[in-house]
Amino acid sequence: MASVTYDHVVKRYTADLTVVKDFNVEIKDKEFMVLVGPSGCGKSTALRMLAGLEAISEGEIRIGDRVVNNVAAKDRDIAMVFQSYALYPHMSVYDNMAFPLQMQHMKKDDIDKRVKNASRILGLDNFLKRKPRALSGGQRQRVALGRAIVRSPKVFLLDEPLSNLDAKLRGQTRIELQKLHRDLQTTFIYVTHDQVEAMTMGDRIAIMNAGILQQVGTPGDIYDHPANLFVAGFIGSPTMNFVPATVDNGTAKASGLEVKLPKPVSAAKGTLGFRPEAVTDRVVEGGPTMKMKVDVVERLGSDQFLYGQVGADQVTARVDPRMSVQPGDTVQLGLDTRGLHFFDAETEKALI
Amino acid sequence: MDFSVLLTDLPTLVVVIIGVPAVLAAYIVGGEYLVRRLPDKARPSVRPWIWVAPALLLVAGFLVAPAIGTLAQSFEDKNGAFIGFQNFAAQLAGFPTGGAWIAIRNNLFWLIFYTLFVLAFGLLLAVLFDRVPYESVVKSLIFMPMAISSVALVVIWKFMYAYQPPGQPQTGTLNFILNTVFHQDPRTWIQDESPLLGLFPLNDMALIGAAVWGIVGFSLVILSAALKGIPGDLLEAARVDGAGEITIFRRVIFPLMMPTVVVVGTTLVIFALKAFDVVYAMTNGNYHTDVLANRMYQLLYNSHDFGGASAVAVILLLTVIPVLIFNLRQFRAVEARR
């Protein structure tokens, strides 16, 4: 149990290859923090620097109050779950979980107690004697978790632990991990490229792109108030609608849409952003409307997504599943201005 | 050089170049033709034999038949009369210094030290070079003696071991070092039978040392490949789990390399049992450095003792077979784990 602080951390491989730039995050004790971003954004590198598997080029990483820049991985008292699980193939499940405890020269009885306890929590009791080779993907994943939890580490690192599981198992494990976090009362740092995992599991989310931290906040915060165009586009599925617009006297004009901005903005040009659910089939009296030429209709039972053209722009709308629309139709749609965003054309920062 | 023989034998050459593939093709086509005429059920069981038969014939003609011949000869005297186990008795008489016993003792030394040193150095170098820049260059250097013929290797090592009486300039590398660095009298490395560490004859060890130098690249390359096959994730996981580098080697790297170590080890055991060329070229088995393969050669070509030579060959064969079977099984196990 400890907090983790990234203080102006930089990771540079060569003079012109910097993969993490001026990274600043404070992760509270017992928090479930998710680092999320597209592949190659530096999130794994940030985690590996904390684990002690990569050197820190600049800045400081602290676990609790202790600066760990020059502390070897084995002395940092952290546990890590790898994407590949990295189980020792020549050891039984039991020995895999006992290994980190043996490294601490713990007594055999205590090791036994802890391993048994972890295997009970993770439902591995019947597999303790098996080699990893003889386990399914999900079981291997749980052994990897077991190897981490037996140690009661200060910080628990997870590097894309679900990406090798099938969709159904991934959903289950997501819930199990949250339970585990609640039971263990330990700091979790979780790296993923999947925004759904980030949104569902994180107490807070840190979004990275191209080595730069974009925004840190609670899932709700980030969803409702994205700091910039990248965050707005990365979080949410289907993605937010972006239409280029010019601003004239507090009104944004796009190719097929005109909307009075709820707040004056300084920029004359920019991008109007609204999520599919802000587009409604109920046209609000006096509110902004748009005509959509529907290309594709997706019915998911609980939802209905319309993909089509509004003026010259692609727009996605989430509408009532009972609304009857055929591809090729032109429909009149409304826009809920409470979910409206406006991004500066140059800086891409959110102005609304 | 006179190449005219090639011209006069041109017809033979043509016959060989065209004839051999033609016979093979005819065999395959004919075989297939016959197989197709068989009932459907019988075909799958017959067809493999058609394809394997040529290889089986070659093995039978060039390997099995001579082995049986050797076995038969080991029970015969010079005139071809059956004499039971007398040849074996002669070879195994006079323990511990008579008959083949010195050679057997030396083969045992080879078996232990040659195998051990080659494995140990190969493993050590593989682990060290794994973290060296220009790794492939360094590995090629170590591998290079593999390309040298054993006789050339012996010539090189004779320079290393060369001896001049005390007081004279030492031309041998080892004696030069012994003389100038350690201020000791030179030693006759190849003749000196005085025991090293009170146990093992110095000249035996000198021969083994030269052979080790020649083969260590082989174990280095194979063990290095096995080392590279261990996923980096595992080592990182062990590091995070709190293991130091030596513990990681002992608990993670070495166990994972073990199957490969065993395969290389058993291969080396076979090499050690077959040891011949270095001994033959360096001492010809003198100064009590003889080994079984060299003894067999001497009996056959110098003493014309066919029975005795065959007996030694049979002893050698019987020792190698179990190792060979173990080696093959282990190799299959390694392959199956991939």
Torsion of CA A131, A135, A139, A144, to 10 degrees: 40
Radius of gyration of chain B measured on its C-alpha atoms: 26
Rounded to two decimals, the ipTM of the complex is 0.85
Query: Is the model's pLDDT at B6 over the cut of 80?
Result: no
**Cα–Cα distance for residue pair A162/A167, rounded to 1 Å:** 9
Q: To which H or E segment does residue A165 belong? A: none
Last residue of a domain, one of A227, A250, A267: A227
- Mean predicted confidence (pLDDT) in A200-217: 95
Residue A352 lies in a domain: no
In terms of domains, do A188 and A254 share one? no
Q: In this predicted model, what pLDDT tens digit does every residue of B181-210 receive, in sequence order?
A: 998 889 899 998 888 777 789 999 999 999
Q: In this predicted model, what pLDDT tens digit does every residue of B146-178 receive, in sequence order?
A: 999 999 999 999 999 999 998 888 999 999 999
In terms of domains, do A282 and A322 share one? yes
Confidence of residue A150 (pLDDT cuts 50, 70, 90): very high
In terms of domains, do A242 and A212 share one? no
Q: In this predicted model, what pLDDT tens digit does every residue of B219-260 receive, in sequence order?
A: 999 999 999 999 999 999 999 999 999 999 999 999 999 989
Q: What is the pLDDT of residue A13?
A: 93
Last residue of a domain, one of A182, A203, A227: A227
Last residue of a domain, one of A227, A258, A284: A227
**Cα–Cα distance for residue pair A297/A321, rounded to 1 Å:** 10
What percentage of residues in chain A have a pLDDT greater than 70?
100
Contacts of B250 in chain A (CB under 8 A): none
Query: Is the model's pLDDT at B336 over the cut of 80?
Result: no
Mean pLDDT (chain A, rounded): 92
Instruction: For residue B64, give the DSSP letter.
Output: I
Q: What is the pLDDT of residue B331?
A: 82
Pick B234's closest partner by Cβ from A52, A74, A86.
A86
Q: What is the pLDDT of residue B1?
A: 61
CB contact under 8 A, B242 and A88: no
Count of beta carbons in the 10 Å neighbourhood of residue B6? 10
Q: What is the pLDDT of residue A262?
A: 85
Q: How near does any CA of chain A get to the CA of B121, in Å?
A: 24
Confidence of residue A276 (pLDDT cuts 50, 70, 90): very high
Residue A248 lies in a domain: yes
In terms of domains, do A193 and A264 share one? no
In terms of domains, do A124 and A263 share one? no
Q: Where are the beta strands (DSSP E) in B153-234?
A: 195-196, 200-201
Tokens at B229, concatenated: 């096959």
In terms of domains, do A87 and A173 share one? yes
Q: Is B102 helix (H, G, I), strand (E, B) or coil?
A: helix
In terms of domains, do A272 and A321 share one? yes
Tokens at A171, concatenated: 């959903």
Write phi, then psi, for A273 (nearest 5 degrees): -125, 135
CB contact under 8 A, A53 and B239: yes
Query: In which domain, by residue range, is A14 found?
Result: 4-227
In terms of domains, do A90 and A183 share one? yes
In terms of domains, do A9 and A146 share one? yes
- Our count of domains for chain A comes to 2
Contacts of B231 in chain A (CB under 8 A): 84, 86
Write phi, then psi, for A292 (nearest 5 degrees): -115, 130
CB contact under 8 A, A99 and B241: yes
Q: Which candidate in B230, B233, B241 is best for mutational testing of the A interface (most A CBs within 10 A)?
A: B241
Pick B243's closest partner by Cβ from A89, A90, A103.
A103
In terms of domains, do A247 and A170 share one? no
The CATH number given to whatever domain includes residue A185 is: 3.40.50.300
Q: Is A78 helix (H, G, I), strand (E, B) or coil?
A: strand
The DSSP annotation for B23-58 comes to: HHHHHHHHHHHHHHTS-TTTHHHHHHHHHHHHHHHH
The DSSP annotation for B218-234 comes to: HHHHHHHHHHHTS-HHH
The CATH number given to whatever domain includes residue A310 is: 2.40.50.140
Region of A24 (left: φ > 0; alpha: ψ -120 to 50; beta: rest) is beta
Q: Does B246 touch chain A (CB under 8 A)?
A: no
Q: In this predicted model, what pLDDT tens digit does every residue of A164-182 receive, in sequence order?
A: 888 888 888 899 899 999 9
In terms of domains, do A63 and A162 share one? yes
Q: What is the pLDDT of residue B44?
A: 86
Q: Look-up: residue for tokens 């099995």?
A: B64
In terms of domains, do A186 and A263 share one? no
Residue A349 lies in a domain: no
Q: In this predicted model, what pLDDT tens digit does every residue of A86-138 receive, in sequence order?
A: 999 999 999 999 999 999 999 999 999 999 999 998 889 999 999 999 999 99
Q: In this predicted model, what pLDDT tens digit does every residue of B65-114 receive, in sequence order?
A: 999 999 999 999 988 889 999 999 999 988 888 889 999 999 999 999 99
Q: To which H or E segment does residue A298 belong? A: strand A289-299
Contacts of B258 in chain A (CB under 8 A): 90
Q: Where are the beta strands (DSSP E) in A131-239?
A: 155-159, 187-192, 204-209, 212-217
CB contact under 8 A, A86 and B233: yes
